[in-house]
Amino acid sequence: EDQVTQSPEALRLQEGESSSLNCSYTVSGLRGLFWYRQDPGKGPEFLFTLYSAGEEKEKERLKATLTKKESFLHITAPKPEDSATYLCAVWGGNQFYFGTGTSLTVIP
Amino acid sequence: EAGVTQSPTHLIKTRGQQVTLRCSPISGHTSVYWYQQALGLGLQFLLWYDEGEERNRGNFPPRFSGRQFPNYSSELNVNALELEDSALYLCASSLAVGRNQPQHFGDGTRLSIL
Per-residue pLDDT tens, chain B, 114 aa: give them: 789 999 999 999 999 999 999 999 999 999 999 999 998 788 999 999 999 999 999 999 999 999 999 999 999 999 999 999 999 999 999 987 655 788 999 999 999 999
Find, in chain B, the residue whose alpha carbon is nearest to that of A86: B42
In chain A, what residues touch B90 (CB-CB under 8 Å)? 43-44
CB-nearest to B43 from A41, A49, A98 is A98
Find, in chain A, the residue whose alpha carbon is nearest to that of B88: A41
What is the model's pLDDT at position A36? 97
Find, in chain B, the residue whose alpha carbon is nearest to that of A46: B104
In chain B, what residues touch A97 (CB-CB under 8 Å)? 45
3-state secondary structure chain A: CCCEEEECCEEEEECCCCEEEEEEECCCCCCCEEEEEECCCCCCEEEEEECCCCCEEEECCEEEEECCCEEEEEECCCCHHHCEEEEEEEECCCCEEECCCEEEEEEC
CB contact (8 A) between residue B102 and residue A46: yes
What is the model's pLDDT at position A15? 97
Alpha-carbon B59 to chain mean position: 14
Alpha-carbon A22 to chain mean position: 7
What is the model's pLDDT at position A3? 84
What is the model's pLDDT at position B8? 97
What is the model's pLDDT at position B20? 98
Nearest to A98 by CA among B107, B42, B46, B99: B42
What is the model's pLDDT at position A71? 96
> How many angstroms separate the Cα of B3 from the Cα of each of A47, B59, B79?
15, 28, 28
Residue A92 has pLDDT above 90, yes or no: no
Nearest to A42 by CA among B48, B4, B86: B4
What is the model's pLDDT at position B99? 54
In chain A, what residues touch B56 (CB-CB under 8 Å)? 94-95
CB contact (8 A) between residue A95 and residue B56: yes
Question: In this predicted model, what pLDDT tens digit does every residue of A26-71 receive, in sequence order?
Answer: 877 777 899 999 999 899 999 999 988 999 999 999 999 999 889 9
Residue B100 touches chain A, beta carbons under 8 Å:
yes
Q: What is the count of residue pairs from A and B with beta carbons less than 8 Å apart?
A: 53
What is the model's pLDDT at position B45? 93
What is the model's pLDDT at position A45? 96
> d(Cα A3, Cα B107) in Å, to the nearest integer?
25
What is the model's pLDDT at position A95? 82
CB contact (8 A) between residue A46 and residue B56: no
CB contact (8 A) between residue B42 and residue A101: yes
What is the model's pLDDT at position B93? 95
